[in-house]
Structure 1
């Protein structure tokens, strides 16, 4: 996830943390609500800091979003990792290099197979 204007560890509210964790998990409000068996408007209320979940829903929420309950409530502990834009550039560069290596590897594998076939024909 990239750093958003609304989310900063030092100023984030409960709702900000819920929204950030939900987005990091790749879920829409509707998808999260469906998985929790609640209305989308309830998720909206949590994210807008108009309401907070009861303990049982908070536990389910933290499990679905893969963050700690403590982090959701206070911002301390295991939460989402905010990736800065310069880190994203580094990650994109590494992914690009991995794709290049994979393409080169496929080409070399095909070349190796052709050579093996040629060798078998000459030996056989």
Structure 2
């Protein structure tokens, strides 16, 4: 669930602080929700997150079904690979890369390759 909350928030273009403000909680609560070993939001907060980020509640809560309320799913790779992210840093980097245009993704790949991966 933590990966889906983070994916929904980043797709909506919100920072943790912005989501917290809109949900009426502290930023630390959002950070906990997005941490794999953190706390799980109560049902009412989960419903608020779904509304704020415009994702389907069922997807946010269970990972089943379409993610988006407008009928478009999140990048299929995000859904398929969410369990393969090894830590929060990798998840953040992956999320940022997926928001880039195809041309900028190729540039990011070239930069990473130059770093000696």
Q: Normalising TM by the smaller chain, what interval?
A: 0.5 to 0.7
Asked which structure has the greater CA Rg, the reply is 1
When the two chains are superposed, the root-mean-square deviation of aligned CA atoms in Å is: 2.0
Give the match for residue 62 of structure 1: 50
Structure showing greater relative contact order (alpha-carbon pairs closer than 8 Å, 6 or more residues apart): 1
Equivalenced residue count is: 75
Which residues of structure 2 form unaligned runs of 5+? 68-72, 78-97, 104-117
Taking the aligned partners of 1:32 and 1:77, their CA distance within structure 2 comes to: 23
- Cα shift readout 1:48-77 (whole Å, capped 9, x = no counterpart): 031111111111111011111111122111
CA shift at 1:78, angstroms?
2.4
- One of 51, 75, 78 as aligned partner of 2:66: 78
- One of 41, 52, 67 as aligned partner of 2:28: 41
**3-state DSSP class of the match of 1:53?**
coil
> 2:46 touches 2:61 (CA, 8 Å); kept in 1?
no
Say whether residues 1:31 and 2:43 are aligned partners. no
**3-state DSSP class of the match of 1:17?**
helix
Q: Which moved more, 1:32-41 or 1:49-58?
A: 49-58
Q: TM-score, normalised by structure 2?
A: 0.58
Post-superposition, which runs of at least 4 consecutive aligned residues in structure 1 deviate over 3 A?
none
Which residues of structure 1 form unaligned runs of 5+? 1-13, 91-124
